Structure 1
Amino acid sequence: MHTTPHPPTITTVAVPPGSAIASALPGAYFADSYETTDPDPATSALQAWLSTVAQVPGWTNRLMALRNRLVRLAGLKDLGALGGDAAHPLRDAASYRVGDRVGIFRIRHLADDEVVMGQDDRHLDVQVSLTKRQPPEGPPRVALSTVVHVHNTLGRVYMALVVPFHRRIVRTLLARYAAR
């Protein structure tokens, strides 16, 4: 008998306490975090991120391309593709350092168990973290957290428009990573 594997469970959680990204929470306009079972606990957080964005669905890339075209009209940054592009291709995890660009983000914190990446613009500052942890009981976990600080009305409008897409993208990325 052939059985279909169950999709990975993605859980909404608090930004992991003690994580580097948790220090960005004070004053945040928006923060969320999703967690699932880590299919490859021996890899670094950065390698997990690279594996995750290497599997970006086509619809996500199309949304990013649309986002980039629209925000250029408002004088904001065209970030390129989430998983890298010709101008910023993904590299081997060991070659990255703090300050390097990984797809649309720059690395701000780099440790084996957490990578924090961010992108600042005049309307908002975004930080994303992939954190790996081993709870006292149960399987290893991986969390994808986002913290956003807005600077003005444009930032609030932007967030109102992108949050529904953000949540779907993050959950999809985590599910694809966990199902590897």
Structure 2
Amino acid sequence: MTPTAQIFPDPESALAGAQFADRYVLTTDGLALTAIGAAERILGRSPRWVGRLTQLRNLAVRPFGLKAGAEPDAPPETRIGIFPLISQAQGRAVLGLDDRHLDFRILVEVNDLGAGRQQVAVSTIVKTHNLLGRTYLAVIMPFHRIIVPAMLAQVLIK
């Protein structure tokens, strides 16, 4: 199965004042994932090329004092990969970070479709605060549209 892009229906419900939201969806068969399990498969590991792009991003934003993810000494149970875990509920994990240029949320949702099939969705919601945030979002958007589906496809890799 290939991830498909969708419009996120109500960004305000996930992050008040959000100016950007997208959603990618994948249907699985026979995995019986929880939202945290799906988030770990999606965000807890990444293809090598994504890791290299992340390193490049971190070098590029260091002069601006932007955050590079969860605090390095954050306990493992408070993050998945580099992303701080904000909340979790039945079928949904919310990760994200608030920074001086923008706030973002990543929603990982798992819905049971019956007959062993599940729909796994990853939504990204962003609220920019200033020109730096709007510029940053514009620069990373082409990469985002390639990276998110690639990360979501990892759900299928055991």
Pick the TM interval, shorter chain: 0.7 to 0.9
Q: Which moved more, 1:124-133 or 1:167-176?
A: 167-176
Do the aligned partners of 1:123 and 1:150 also contact (CA within 8 Å) in 2? yes
CA distance in 2, matches of 1:40, 1:169: 25
Aligned counterparts, 1:110-129, within 5 A: 110-129=88-107
Aligned to 1:13: 6
C-alpha distance in 1 between matches for 2:2 and 2:47: 19
* 1:1-180 map, 5 Å: 8-15=1-8, 23-24=13-14, 26-39=16-29, 41-79=31-69, 87=72, 96=77, 100-135=78-113, 139-178=117-156, 180=158
| TM-score, normalised relative to structure 1 | 0.76
Report the CA distance shift for 1:88/1:175 in structure 2 as closer, same or farther (over 3 A): farther
CA shift in 2, pair 1:108/1:55, >3 Å: closer
For 2:49 and 2:73, the matched residues in 1 are separated by 20
Instruction: Give the Cα separation in 2 of the matches to 1:47 and 1:65.
Output: 25
Query: In proportion to residue count, which structure has more strand?
Result: 2
Give the match's secondary structure for 2:84.
strand
Distance 1:12 1:90, change over 3 A: farther
Distance 1:73 1:109 in 2: 31
Q: Deviations over 1:55-112 (max 9, x none)?
A: 41111111111111111111212337xxxxxx46995xxxx3xxx2322222122023
Cα gap change, 1:77/1:113 in structure 2, threshold over 3 Å: closer, same or farther?
same
Q: For the pair shown, which has the larger CA radius of gyration, 1 or 2?
A: 1
CA gap 1:50/1:172 in 2 versus in 1, 3 angstroms = same
What is the RMSD computed on CA atoms of the aligned residues? 2.8
How has the CA–CA distance of structure 1 residues 88 and 166 changed in structure 2, closer, same or farther, with 3 Å as cutoff?
farther
SS in 2 for 1:141: strand
Identity %: 39
Aligned letter for 2:130? N
Task: Name the one with the larger helix percent.
Answer: 2
